[in-house]
Structure 1
Amino acid sequence: MRRDEFLKSMVALAAAGSLPLSAQAATNMKMMIPANPGGGWDATGRALGQAILEAKAADNVQYENKGGAAGVIGLAQFANSAKNDPDQIIMMGAVMIGGIITGKPPVSLTSCTPIARLTSEYNVFVVPAESPLKTMKDVAEQFKKDPGSVKWGGGSRGSTEHISAAMLARTLGVDPKKVNYVAFRGGGEAVAAILGGNVTVGGSGYSEFAEYIKSGKMRAIAVTSEKRLPGSTVPTMREQGYNVVLGNWRGVYAGPGITAPQRAALTEGIVRATKTKAWQDALAKNAWTPAVMTGKEFDDFVEYEFSSLRAIMYLSGMI
């Protein structure tokens, strides 16, 4: 094949989305982060962006934060703007699924294209350092005596920390509908509320609270994992007598209508990004568990998560 014919064929393949991102022309990727700055989605998205650049899966990554309604507001905007565009992605995860279940929005994940699960993480519950409540047992006793007096702060309604609080209520014989839950649009707002004593207990991924726990500004009283996190002394909910085990995870979707070759190319680029030093450093820094999953396995996983979370939320009185 002559050089000019080869180049024409490469251009045609790239235009059709049949080449991996590494073989395509310069790309400007747009990433929707459906939460305000300072939270887990924001940290994960920006870490992934740096990894994408290191993997040369794109030449530039632009970020847009759009918080509210457990990511559903950002999802609706993304679904409209990213149609047929393989250069746009959105951060998503268990929190968004919870928001979709409780909010029943007109736009759901089914309109978009699954790409990959990235990480898994468990929630940690914290209290301000000066709180008179020193342990989860202290919180549980007050919660059982007067549910409304305990303000639980965390992500949007339907988030994993919200579900965990409802699960605790159920194990204590408290009506889950009496959980006094304060939802925040981003991790930064939640941190400020906890440090300011505006909520009794805060919940989120360990990475969001890590620096405040280490500095002594927050006291970690429980984690929702099966076992204690590696290198951590924070007791699990279960070992303290409360049958609350619930994980969080985060992933990436693309817009509606992209082709199968475009999905394959985008998936290949994201997977390469997860193998970079930048991503490995982010995993270690934030105590994220790598949990990469793609293709039909990821499709089936999301479908299972909808069913599983819907059941948990129903039993916890949230829906």
Structure 2
Amino acid sequence: MMPTQEQAPPRRRSRWRLIVGALAAVAMIAALAITGITQRSQSASALEDALGGRQLRIMAPADPGGGWDQTSRAVQTALGDIVGRTEVYNVGGAGGTIGLPQFVRHTGEANELMVTGAIMVGAILTNGSEATLDDVDMLARLTTEYLVIAVPADSEIQTMEDLADAMAEDVGSVSIAGGSAGGVEQVLTGLVAEAVGADPREASYVAHSGGGEALTTMLSGRSTAGMSGISELLPYIEDGSMRALAVSSPERVANLPDVPTLRESGLDIELQNWRGIAAPRGLGEDEREALIAMLDEMHESAAWREILEDRGWEDAYLTGPELTEFLKTDQETTAQILEQIGLVK
């Protein structure tokens, strides 16, 4: 007669429990996998419904080559396995305030997205734009990035202290090239001028509609120095075309470990640029939730993590009420700084 479970020797009971435990664990893993597949399937179905068979389109509200263009194409790449083919198109000029009113017209179109960020916040104020970020539906903040101040390799200016001394002596004679008027580069120019004791309203800032144009000015030597996101100037710093003077981060950054911060250079300044993505107003709640779920999935993907690492972008993903509060604070702070350095009244 075979022994019952209760009659089984202690060793056999222990082995039986291990087998049962292993089977339970396998069942749990299988259930979680099925749940995950089901959730992904539901998410994909919701996204298909939201897009309604239309191709996803992303506006980069700047000319090719700059940070918004790079971000749009990075999102396009990272979404490849999630939504398939995506179109990126450029509408450049005036810190995004030419593209913004065009984007606002896409009311209720869930397949239309736009990259935006800190530069547009400032440009809306300095350009007196009728369209504002209140006219779009902000879905997520994606990244933040610090800026680098650099000069052409053959410049006589060797250090940030040299540039600061030149600005203190005659701020109007030191031209600084960067992106759109009112953007973070012009804000940084004004803050540096103020920090060296000059009138920031007299700073000579050369605005450009896109990063490509600004880069041409910087490399040609037509400006004394240039300011841009680290990822935009890093290739030219690494190949020796430009010399980095300082970064606007609180600590030195990993991809430019030998470049001092502005604080190390004697200027108590810290400034970073953020970039995010918006949809038009007028979306249904299901459509909006499907787009955010799409961005959530992108944010967790290996492709996006690789892009962040390669570009040196900080992961600053934010959605929901926290994003709303961030935008409110950022707009208030930007307005205060622009008024402080004389760019708006």
What is the TM-score normalised by the length of structure 2? 0.84
Number of matched residues? 301
Alignment-derived partner of residue 187 in structure 1: 211
Runs of 4+ in 1 over 2 A off after TM superposition: 17-20, 22-27
Give 1:277's aligned amino acid: A
Return the alpha-carbon distance in structure 1 between the equivalents of residues 195 and 224 of structure 2.
19
Return the alpha-carbon distance in structure 1 between the equivalents of residues 151 and 46 of structure 2.
47
* Structure 1 residue runs without a partner (length 5+): 1-13
Seen in structure 2, the aligned counterparts of structure 1 residues 302 and 268 have a Cα distance that, compared at 3 Å, is same
1:178 CA displacement:
0.6
Question: Is 1:109 the counterpart of 2:136 in the alignment?
Answer: no
Return the alpha-carbon distance in structure 1 between the equivalents of residues 54 and 64 of structure 2.
25
Alignment-derived partner of residue 174 in structure 1: 198
Alignment-derived partner of residue 90 in structure 1: 114
Of residues 275, 289, 295, the one that matches 1:250 is 275
* SS class of match (1:114): strand
Alignment-derived partner of residue 79 in structure 1: 104
Alignment-derived partner of residue 145 in structure 1: 169
Give 1:109's aligned amino acid: L
Return the alpha-carbon distance in structure 1 between the equivalents of residues 48 and 249 of structure 2.
38
Of residues 327, 333, 336, the one that matches 1:302 is 327
Of residues 52, 70, 78, the one that matches 2:79 is 52
Return the alpha-carbon distance in structure 1 between the equivalents of residues 55 and 84 of structure 2.
6
Question: Is 1:40 the counterpart of 2:67 in the alignment?
Answer: yes
1:277 CA displacement:
2.2
1:135 CA displacement:
0.8
> Deviation per CA, 1:275-306, whole angstroms, max 9, x where unpaired?
22221121111100111000111111111100
Return the alpha-carbon distance in structure 2 between the equivalents of residues 75 and 120 of structure 1.
21
What fraction of aligned residue pairs are identical, expressed as a percent? 37
> Deviation per CA, 1:76-103, whole angstroms, max 9, x where unpaired?
11111x2110111000000000101211
Return the alpha-carbon distance in structure 2 between the equivalents of residues 50 and 87 of structure 1.
16
Larger CA deviation: 150-159 vs 59-68: 59-68
* SS class of match (2:252): coil
Return the alpha-carbon distance in structure 2 between the equivalents of residues 275 and 26 of structure 1.
25
Alignment-derived partner of residue 226 in structure 1: 250
Return the alpha-carbon distance in structure 2 between the equivalents of residues 128 and 191 of structure 1.
10
Alignment-derived partner of residue 181 in structure 2: 157
> Deviation per CA, 1:41-67, whole angstroms, max 9, x where unpaired?
11111010111122x1x2321111011
Q: Determine if contact 1:95/1:248 at 8 Å carries over to the other structure.
A: yes
Q: Determine if contact 1:18/1:261 at 8 Å carries over to the other structure.
A: no
1:252 CA displacement:
0.2
What is the TM-score normalised by the length of structure 1? 0.91
> Deviation per CA, 1:107-140, whole angstroms, max 9, x where unpaired?
1111110100000100101000000011111111
Alignment-derived partner of residue 208 in structure 1: 232
1:226 CA displacement:
0.7
Return the alpha-carbon distance in structure 1 between the equivalents of residues 132 and 138 of structure 2.
12
* Structure 2 residue runs without a partner (length 5+): 1-41
Return the alpha-carbon distance in structure 2 between the equivalents of residues 39 and 159 of structure 1.
13
Q: Determine if contact 1:33/1:41 at 8 Å carries over to the other structure.
A: yes
Q: Determine if contact 1:100/1:108 at 8 Å carries over to the other structure.
A: yes
* SS class of match (1:127): strand
* SS class of match (1:130): coil
Return the alpha-carbon distance in structure 1 between the equivalents of residues 310 and 209 of structure 2.
23
Alignment-derived partner of residue 6 in structure 1: none
Q: Determine if contact 1:47/1:278 at 8 Å carries over to the other structure.
A: no
Of residues 286, 292, 296, the one that matches 1:261 is 286
Return the alpha-carbon distance in structure 1 between the equivalents of residues 45 and 132 of structure 2.
29
Return the alpha-carbon distance in structure 1 between the equivalents of residues 314 and 176 of structure 2.
25
1:20 CA displacement:
3.2
